[in-house]
């Protein structure tokens, strides 16, 4: 499979890096960043536009850990579940909105950046756990609102001013606990009796001397059980336009998902899940058809659709939603690419699945996944998944193919791609140490098709230019089809005959001792010959070895058979001394070539044993052609 590859010669990018020179804050201190689109200049400050020709520095107070993007904004955000949502294109002068968590207990702010310069900031009342931008009405000008999720509340800002506060509905309170506190309110029960009845709650952690003051402080307050928000997203109401009205979709700690009306902020739909949602991706329109993909803390992904009670579908014999993807490990990121789902897991793997849960592919990564984001370059029709790894690299995948690798100075903790300022292709990343990196893709960049999959080269898959079938080929094919059985039988018969002939020749050679190795169990011998010289004189060396384990060989002799008109041997008969097992015994003799006609012949060597008529072994030596004449 082929995947688009960035052409290195035509790919230019501008990198703006800011590193905060401050001591590290606790791990729970995180940021929420959003590129706020279509903001009016009078509410943001200066109209100075960011360009790729200048380098700016933004002083960030705390590290920025991860990325997340929302409709009508480009945003960088992380909660404990590292939520990731979609990023549509934005109009000119897109700006960056940052949710600063401060020290974790105070100094929480909502900051707006233009380029890398801080434009405005607003104080937040509590720690933000989610941040999205959405259009809540049809009023002109089309200015999006910012929704900040914090605890059980959603704070809505318009023109960066507080506009509305939504509170999640309280959960049901235990009847026994409510009755006990009612008695405490009426002074019908003492603190020690209250302690005995309220086991396992925060009241038991108090010292005995502090219990009475705690009861007096809280007994007049109503009993409430409140959940918190874990992830947030947006869903178009009834139109698919970029600036259409959108509903808020929120996931809560008590394993529920709410869909809120954008104008009245009432609950349009409520869904219960088997586990607490950690990541959420929303697509479609609420009044038409939509899908909500939720990755939960139990290691499963649930796909909810608008059928059967608006969202939730069950099997007749199961309590799970109809479409459930069971992962081998917990999810650390979720991105939707077209109609497929790409999920990163804690086992350093990246999985691709269909909407119905069928696994398409799996890619193994060199390091753990820190954050994930979607790269959607709509003007080029290019979509890819950006994966930030713990080894300070950002990998770009299209399906299972690795398209590009971006190396950074620090671990990337958040990432998003989209329009920022006047640039359509901007990549915004934050680092673990508090740095902000902005890379701008050149508008004339070319995406080349290259084969990035491991395996054989591309040329191997190119079809050969095979000539057309000739009449002879067609006739032979027809003959093979008509006489297939007879041809197979004839082939098998010839093969059996060949094997029989080879076996007979081998047995004959063994029985006649015509091989250079002895087949006798009593006298196991091995011999090889070496011929040296150009002629007419040759030196013939025979190497004889006893291959037995511990039995010596004796009473042996060597004799030669040759054409006396062609060759003359100085010594044609040798008596061999006792052969010790394992040692090599060289025997030399000289051969004279008597012919000047440039011909050669074979000299046969026989190893004999006194008292036996047949030789122990035989060697055939092919003599080379003599290159000179004998001197008289």
- pLDDT for the residue 37: 33
Least confident of 76-90, 174-188, 264-278: 76-90
Would you give the DSSP letter of residue 204? G
Residues 6+ apart with CB under 8 A from 278: 81, 82, 83, 230, 231, 251, 295, 296, 297, 331
Q: Residue 383: CA atoms inside 13 Å, Cβ hemisphere, count?
A: 16
Closest CA to 79 of 345, 342, 276: 276
- Looking at residue 46, what is its pLDDT? 35
Token pair for 575:
């008596």
Structure-block tokens of residue 98: 């940052």
Of 520 and 31, more confident: 520
Supply φ then ψ for residue 502, to 5 degrees.
Answer: -65, -40
Q: How much is the average pLDDT of 471-484? A: 91
Q: What is the CATH number of domain 3-171+226-458?
A: 2.130.10.10
Band the pLDDT of 515: cuts 50, 70, 90. low
The three-state (H, E, C) secondary structure of 458-520, written as one string: HHHHCCCCCCCCCHHHHHHHHHHHHCHHHHHHHHHHHHHHHHHHHHHHHHHHHHCCCCCECCC
C-alpha 332/C-alpha 372 separation (Å) is: 8
List pLDDT tens digits, range 353-388.
888 878 888 889 999 999 998 888 888 888 889 999
3-state secondary structure of 51: coil
> Quick check: helix, strand or coil at residue 325?
strand
This prediction has a pTM of: 0.54
**Residue 621 banded pLDDT, cuts 50, 70, 90:** confident
Instruction: Record the tokens describing residue 304, joined without a space.
Output: 């909810």
Mean pLDDT for 68-81 is 36
Percent share of the chain, pLDDT over 70: 72
Tokens of 441: 């893709």
pLDDT at 311 over 60: no
Alpha-carbon span 529 to 567, nearest angstrom = 17
| 25 pLDDT higher than 80 | no
Report the topology of domain 525-622: Immunoglobulin-like (2.60.40)
pLDDT band for 463, please (50, 70, 90 cuts): confident
In DSSP notation, 608-623 reads EETT-SS-SEEEEEEP
- 453 contacts 106 by C-beta, under 8 angstroms: no
Residue 482: pLDDT above 90? yes
Mean pLDDT of the chain: 74
- pLDDT tens digits along 577-587: 888 888 888 98
Q: What's the pLDDT at 402?
A: 86
Q: Each residue of 167-194: b (16+ CB within 10 Å) or e?
A: ebeeeeeeeeeeebbeebbeeebebeeb
Which pair of tokens denotes residue 467?
A: 């000539």
Q: How many CB atoms lie within 10 A of CB 612?
A: 12
Number of other CB atoms surrounding residue 130 within 10 Å: 28
Distance CA 237, CA 223 (A): 35
Phi, psi of 477 (to 5 degrees): -65, -45
d(CA 589, CA 560): 11
The Cα 237–Cα 285 span in angstroms is 5
Averaged pLDDT for residues 239-246: 85
Beta strands (DSSP E) in 349-456 are 349-354, 359-364, 369-377, 382-389, 393-398, 401-407, 412-420, 423-431, 436-440, 447-450
- pLDDT above 90 covers a percentage of the chain that reads 8
* pLDDT confidence of residue 394: 92
The length of the chain is 632
**Model pLDDT, residue 486:** 93
3-class DSSP assignment, residue 306: coil
Helix 471-482 and helix 484-511: axis angle, to 10°? 80
Mean pLDDT over 302-321 rounds to 54
- Least confident window among 106-115, 379-388, 515-524, 607-616: 515-524
Band the pLDDT of 17: cuts 50, 70, 90.
Answer: very low
Provide the token pair at 305: 């659709």
Give me the pLDDT at residue 494, please: 95
126: nearest Cα among 25, 228, 225, 6 = 228
Distance CA 569, CA 560 (A): 9
Angle in degrees, CA 541, 543, 549, rounded to 5: 170
- The pLDDT value given to residue 198: 66
Q: Span 126-133, mean pLDDT?
A: 82
Q: Between the CA of residue 591 and those of 538, 572, 624, 627, what are the distances in Å?
A: 5, 10, 11, 14
pLDDT surpasses 60 at 608 = yes
Residue that wins the pLDDT comparison between 207 and 565: 565
Amino acid 15: pLDDT: 38
pLDDT attached to residue 514:
62
């Amino acid at each position: 499979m082929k995947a688009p590859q960035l052409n290195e010669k035509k790919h230019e990018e501008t990198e703006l890096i800011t590193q905060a020179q401050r001591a590290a804050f606790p791990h729970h201190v995180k940021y929420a960043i959003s590129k706020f689109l279509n903001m009016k200049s009078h509410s943001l400050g200066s109209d100075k536009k960011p360009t790729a020709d200048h380098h700016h520095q933004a002083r960030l107070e705390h590290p920025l850990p991860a990325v997340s993007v929302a409709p009508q904004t480009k945003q960088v955000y992380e909660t404990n579940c590292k939520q990731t949502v979609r990023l549509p294109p934005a109009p000119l002068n897109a700006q960056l909105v940052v949710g600063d968590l401060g020290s974790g207990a105070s100094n929480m702010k909502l900051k707006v950046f233009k380029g890398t310069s801080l434009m405005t900031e607003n104080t937040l009342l509590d720690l933000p756990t989610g941040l999205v931008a959405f259009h809540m009405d049809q009023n002109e000008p089309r200015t999006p609102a910012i929704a900040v999720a914090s605890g059980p509340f959603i704070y809505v800002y318009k023109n960066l001013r507080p506009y509305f506060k939504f509170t999640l509905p309280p959960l049901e309170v235990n009847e026994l606990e409510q009755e006990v506190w009612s008695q405490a309110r009426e002074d019908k029960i003492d603190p020690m009796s209250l302690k005995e009845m309220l086991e396992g709650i925060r009241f038991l952690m108090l010292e005995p001397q502090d219990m009475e003051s705690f009861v007096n402080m809280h007994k007049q307050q109503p009993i409430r059980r409140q959940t918190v928000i874990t992830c947030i997203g947006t869903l178009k109401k009834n139109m698919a336009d970029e600036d259409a009205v959108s509903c808020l979709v929120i996931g809560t700690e008590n394993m529920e998902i709410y869909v809120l009306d954008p104008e009245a902020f009432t609950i349009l739909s409520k869904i219960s899940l088997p586990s607490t949602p950690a990541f959420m991706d929303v697509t479609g329109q609420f009044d038409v058809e939509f899908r909500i993909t939720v990755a939960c803390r139990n290691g499963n992904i649930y796909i909810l659709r608008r059928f059967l009670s608006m969202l939730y579908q069950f099997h007749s014999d199961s309590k799970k939603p109809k479409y459930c993807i069971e992962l081998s490990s917990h999810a650390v990121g979720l991105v939707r690419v077209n109609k497929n789902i790409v999920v990163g897991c804690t086992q350093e793997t990246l999985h691709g699945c269909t909407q119905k849960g069928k696994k398409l592919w799996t890619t193994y990564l060199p390091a753990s996944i820190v954050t994930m984001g979607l790269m959607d370059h709509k003007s080029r029709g290019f979509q890819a998944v950006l994966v930030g790894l713990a080894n300070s690299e950002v990998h770009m995948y299209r399906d299972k193919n690795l398209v590009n690798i971006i190396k950074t100075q620090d671990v990337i903790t958040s990432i998003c791609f989209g329009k920022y300022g006047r640039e359509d292709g901007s990549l915004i990343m934050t680092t673990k140490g508090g740095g902000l990196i902005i890379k701008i893709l050149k508008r004339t960049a070319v995406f080349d098709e290259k084969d990035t999959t491991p395996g054989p080269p591309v040329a191997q898959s190119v079809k050969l230019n095979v000539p057309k079938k000739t009449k002879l080929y067609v006739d032979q094919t027809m003959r093979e089809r008509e006489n297939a059985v007879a041809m197979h039988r004839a082939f098998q018969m010839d093969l059996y005959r060949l094997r029989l002939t080879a076996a007979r020749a081998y047995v004959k050679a063994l029985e006649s001792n015509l091989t250079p190795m002895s087949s006798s169990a009593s006298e196991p011998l091995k011999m090889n010959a070496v011929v040296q010289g150009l002629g007419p004189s040759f030196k013939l060396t025979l190497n004889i070895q006893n291959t037995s384990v511990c039995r010596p060989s004796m009473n042996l002799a060597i004799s030669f058979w040759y054409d006396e008109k062609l060759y003359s041997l100085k010594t044609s008969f040798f008596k061999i001394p006792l052969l010790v097992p394992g040692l090599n015994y060289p025997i030399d003799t000289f051969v004279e070539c008597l012919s000047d006609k440039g011909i050669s012949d074979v000299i046969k060597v026989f190893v004999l044993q006194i008292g036996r008529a047949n030789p122990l072994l035989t060697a055939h030596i092919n003599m080379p052609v003599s290159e000179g004449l004998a001197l008289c």
